[in-house]
């Protein structure tokens, strides 16, 4: 697993601290240090573009970053931040802000990236990135948690944040592995090939899958049944939704929602799905169209589950008479 540390100035103490702590993310993590203060000419531009790509992987698509290569009295670069027009000026040109030199770049270093995505940046970066934007709500990764700000001078805080992030990284690896197996079934029994595809050591992939494989299999194999499957148009019908779990592992209290050409009450429900058992829910449906159509059932594990960011989707066909 690749971890990248970006430094704008020499800091051997921080390098040593991060080198010791990346093991919290994975015992096999490989730390790569990018020292901007040591490079010049085109290499500094290449590093800047690497940084911009990693940061863009965390931010909404309406905000962009571009490294401008400027060759005046030698090699140099600056960073352009631009935003799509807001709702009040939907047809206007994008607004932008250019960041130059050490005065602005102090808000970008140090920084830490994990698995080709920026993870930790200085606490002041949010303000400099937001300055000039149409509205702060258009740029939310700093408050949403997808990009974390941190005081790199507080080594205890770095340790706490890496320790807190580790389970999410493990879930991400396991989820990507499951998706890879579904898309390419031939890789299912080739853990070495899967690990290489995901940019991991084989031991890292094995550990991540072991943590949640039983839960993931139970979620993947959930079965939904619905009764009654026939109802009248323009009338409320009370129905029973049954979520069956054949696996010997409890999924806990899951959140369930249903969608289709109808009104559903309540919009979201919570039920416990036991091991080798079923959760049963009572919902009310008001069909808006006649005919036969699929009812989409979305099942989300509880927030404290290793699969908190996973959702199982099932379809139940129902018939609505005129």
**pLDDT, tens only, 141-160:** 554 456 788 889 999 999 99
Q: Which of 91-105, 189-203, 225-239 has the lowest mean pLDDT?
A: 91-105
pLDDT for the residue numbered 132: 56
pLDDT classification of 138: cutoffs 50, 70, 90: very low
Torsion on CA atoms 47, 50, 52, 55, rounded to nearest 10: -130
Angle at 279 between CA 273 and CA 281, to 5 degrees: 140
pLDDT for the residue numbered 205: 79
Handedness of CA 8, 14, 20, 22 (dihedral sign): negative
Closest by CA position to 111, among listed 67, 68, 165, 147: 147
pLDDT for the residue numbered 180: 76
| Tokens 């969608």, residue located | 259
In this structure, the strands spanning 223-227 and 230-232 are: unpaired
- Retrieve residue 58's tokens: 């965390």
CA distances from 8 to 35, 249, 293 (A): 6, 49, 58
Task: Encode pLDDT of 70-81 as tens digits.
Answer: 665 555 677 777
Assign a CATH topology to domain 222-321: Immunoglobulin-like (2.60.40)
Is the per-residue pLDDT at 86 higher than 70? Answer: no
Task: Encode pLDDT of 201-232 as tens digits.
Answer: 888 877 777 666 677 788 888 999 989 989 99
Mean pLDDT of the chain: 80
Q: What is the pTM of this model?
A: 0.63
Please state the domain extents for the chain: 2-153, 176-219, 222-321
pLDDT for the residue numbered 95: 65
């Amino acid at each position: 697993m690749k971890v990248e540390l970006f430094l704008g100035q020499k800091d051997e103490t921080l390098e040593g601290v991060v080198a010791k702590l990346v093991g919290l993310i994975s015992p096999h993590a490989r730390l790569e240090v990018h020292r901007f203060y040591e490079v010049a000419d085109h290499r500094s531009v290449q590093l800047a573009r690497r940084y911009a790509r990693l940061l863009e992987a965390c931010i909404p698509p309406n905000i962009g970053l571009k490294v401008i290569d400027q060759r005046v009295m030698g090699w140099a670069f600056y960073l352009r931040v631009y935003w799509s027009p807001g709702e009040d000026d939907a047809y206007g040109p994008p607004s932008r802000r250019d960041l130059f030199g050490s005065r602005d770049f102090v808000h970008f270093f140090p920084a830490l990236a994990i698995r080709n995505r920026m993870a930790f940046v200085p606490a002041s970066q949010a303000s400099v990135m937001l300055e000039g934007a149409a509205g702060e709500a258009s740029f939310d990764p700093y408050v949403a948690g997808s990009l974390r700000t941190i005081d790199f001078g507080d080594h205890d805080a770095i340790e706490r944040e890496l320790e807190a992030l580790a389970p999410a990284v493990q879930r991400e690896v396991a989820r990507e592995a499951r998706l890879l197996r579904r898309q390419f079934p031939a890789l299912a029994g080739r853990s070495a090939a899967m690990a290489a595809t995901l940019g991991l050591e084989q031991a890292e992939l094995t550990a991540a899958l072991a943590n949640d494989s039983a839960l993931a299999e139970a979620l993947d194999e959930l079965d939904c049944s619905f009764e009654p499957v026939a109802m009248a148009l323009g009338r409320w019908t009370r129905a029973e939704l049954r979520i069956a779990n054949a696996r010997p592992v409890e999924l806990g209290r899951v959140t369930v929602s249903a969608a289709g050409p109808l009104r559903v009450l309540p919009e979201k429900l919570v039920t416990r799905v036991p091991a080798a058992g079923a959760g049963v829910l009572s919902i009310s449906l008001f069909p808006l169209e006649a005919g036969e159509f699929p009812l989409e059932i979305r099942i989300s594990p509880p927030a404290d589950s290793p699969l908190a960011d996973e959702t199982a989707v099932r379809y139940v066909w129902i018939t609505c008479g005129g």
